[in-house]
Amino acid sequence: MSGDQTLPPVNEPDPVVAAPMPKTPIETPAKITTSSDWAGKLVLAAGVGAVIWGLSSAIGTGWGLWPWRTGLTGVTWSFFLAIAVILAGLALGYRAKQNGGGPRLLRWAGMAAAVVYAGWIGTYIVADWSSPAIHDISTDLADPPGFREVALRTDNWDDVPGVDAPEMAGMNPQQRWQMVHREAYGDIRSVRINEPVPSVIAKAERLAQARGWDVLTALPEEGRFEATETRSLFRFKDDIVLRVRPTETGEGSIVDMRSVSRVGVSDLGANADRVRSFLADLSGTVTAAP
């Protein structure tokens, strides 16, 4: 080549400019408050407090520190406190969930204590609803066995239900008791045992001692047995009497049993359960007397 020649410009590629990376927002963890958890502490204190209040009310009654009505009042209000703790714990848990969580251990512990206690007291409430408001249970309604070693409570026939019931109009308290008793505990009747009277009394004494009852008297020659059972944290006392008579042929015995609570209007079915259980063990298989 001759002379100066101008070379054509070379098209160089444009420099690659990196596209700006989109900014990814940095996620920050939810704020968890762990400093005090005053709500959880309050629920825990109230839940444990309800349990302590209820148990001390019952135990204090058993120790004679206050009347039984005062103890029952304490148990009643402690039950309401336990229900309030459960509801408050649920509300606080919902609120904490809406706010992104929070400490739960103390709140759960308080609610657990309240649930266990309320459930325990609830069994007695159900028993009260399902039992008639009577506290004197007998296999013989027309001629209940009488007590000799202990005095029958003076208010035994007070507050018998049915005073305003049309079907019981004109009945006295004992007649109303018979009608209520018959409807609620129709299975509780005199039983026949194919053993002589002394053997039945001796066996009754052994069964009572095995149950931890305080035996007051056991007279085989009279066919009489009396005892007292102390039950529950309240140490309620229920008095029991057995009347055992020979059959017409003298080959067996007719057993009647009566169980009476010393205090309270309703026994929550405790006396009926006692009569059923004791007579079943006494006779092996309970057979109603003719």
Blockwise average pLDDT, block size 10, the chain, 290 residues: 50 52 50 63 96 98 96 98 96 80 83 98 96 97 97 96 93 97 97 96 97 98 97 96 93 96 96 98 67
Residue 130 tokens read as: 């399902």
pTM, two decimals, is: 0.81
Per-residue pLDDT, 285: 55
CB 260 within 8 A of CB 238: yes
3-class DSSP state of 261 = strand
Cα(186)–Cα(200) distance, integer angstroms: 24
Per-residue pLDDT, 9: 55
Among residues 198, 204, 191, the alpha carbon closest in space to that of 254 is found at: 191
Per-residue pLDDT, 149: 97
Q: Write out the CATH class of domain 136-283.
A: alpha beta
Tokens 């055992």 correspond to: 244
Strands 224-231, 136-138: pairing kind: unpaired
Among residues 290, 274, 50, 55, the alpha carbon closest in space to that of 282 is found at: 274
CB 262 within 8 A of CB 237: yes
